Amino acid sequence: MLTQEIPHITACLLICCPDRPGIVAGVSQFLYLLGANILDASQHSTDPREGLFFMRMEFQLANLDKAALEAAFREQVAIPLQMEWKIDYSDRRKRMAIMVSAYDHCLLELLWRWKSSELPVDIPVVISNHAALEKECTSLGIPFHYLPVSSSTKELQERAAIGLLEQHRADFTVLARYMQILSPQFVSRYPQRIINIHHSFLPAFAGARPYLNAYTRGVKLIGATAHYVTNELDEGPIIEQDVARVSHKHTVEDLVMLGRDIERQVLTRAVKAHIDNRVILHGNKTIVF
């Protein structure tokens, strides 16, 4: 007689708390007594003057009762150690909405990575203020919504976008070169749930024309920055960055071409870190494991 295999769910625990001895031991002992198998553990302690401890731990547990696990962890570990914490589970794929304007390189990179199963998410909707990229999305079975915007219709357009994000139950949204500034009302609905790619190595050259500004200044490095969106333009917590070396021989067009390659890679790495629960946000700073 064949025995039925007991399903195992992978869980990912993220914590932030005041630093003190015994944190790792306390969490590990709690999971050990439940019969969990720890798959990965990473931790970071800040400067003693700040006195904070961050940890990411992956574990597997047969016949996982999520509510009971979280209630027990809260009472036995989190409250005594003054933890901010969350647990995410592998049996539910995150739902990633995408907002994009006319530039296609970041969108196409995300779609290719998704189609190749490198990004383990569902993409329930793509929203754009331009109609140009509809075919690229619908050919993959992804709903595409064209929401044009002007200064007089911005509030209505954002309201429609929010409606679509709610309708499609998006867990987070990626701005894949969405060339519109989101209102504080929009941003406040989705804290740490909107990822933007900015085409410069922030904090240098914030704003709309960084490659031209970089060329004018004669910089020797250009880059890209993926960050969480806040109400302060291009100043949200940074998730991922990268650079390429350039010289006086490069034209503005050269910088744009090189920059787009960096943007694609940086945005993909940031999205993957978010999907894998490797980012802990503290103030305007991220800890990325």
Contact by Cβ (8 Å): 268, 109: yes
Cβ within 8 Å of residue 9, ≥6 positions away: 60, 61, 64, 89, 90, 91
Q: Is 88 a catalytic residue?
A: no
CATH 3.40.50.170 fits 94-288, yes or no: yes
Selecting among 47, 104, 234, 242, the annotated active-site residue is: 234
Q: Provide the pairing of β-strand 238-245 with 279-282.
A: unpaired
For the domain spanning 8-89, the CATH number is 3.30.70.260
pLDDT at 3: 46
Residue 273 phi, psi (nearest 5): -60, -40
According to the model, what pLDDT value does residue 206 have?
64
Token pair belonging to 84 = 């901010």
Answering whether pTM is above 0.85, one says: yes
CA atoms within 13 A on the CB side of 5: 3
**Domain range annotation of the chain:** 8-89, 94-288
From first to last of its 289 residues, the chain has per-residue pLDDT tens of 444 454 578 999 999 999 999 999 999 999 999 999 999 999 999 888 889 999 999 999 888 889 999 999 999 999 999 999 999 999 999 999 999 999 999 999 999 999 999 999 999 999 999 999 999 999 999 999 999 999 999 999 999 999 999 999 999 999 999 999 999 999 999 999 999 999 877 656 666 677 677 767 777 888 899 999 999 888 899 999 999 888 888 888 888 888 899 999 999 999 999 999 999 999 889 999 9
pLDDT at res. 62: 84
Q: How many residues does the chain have?
A: 289
Let me know: does 16 contact 279? Beta carbons within 8 Å.
Answer: no
- The whole-number pLDDT of residue 223 equals 86
Instruction: Please report the pLDDT score of residue 208 as a whole number.
Output: 62
3-state secondary structure of 255: helix
What CA–CA distance (Å, rounded) separates 236 from 76? 34
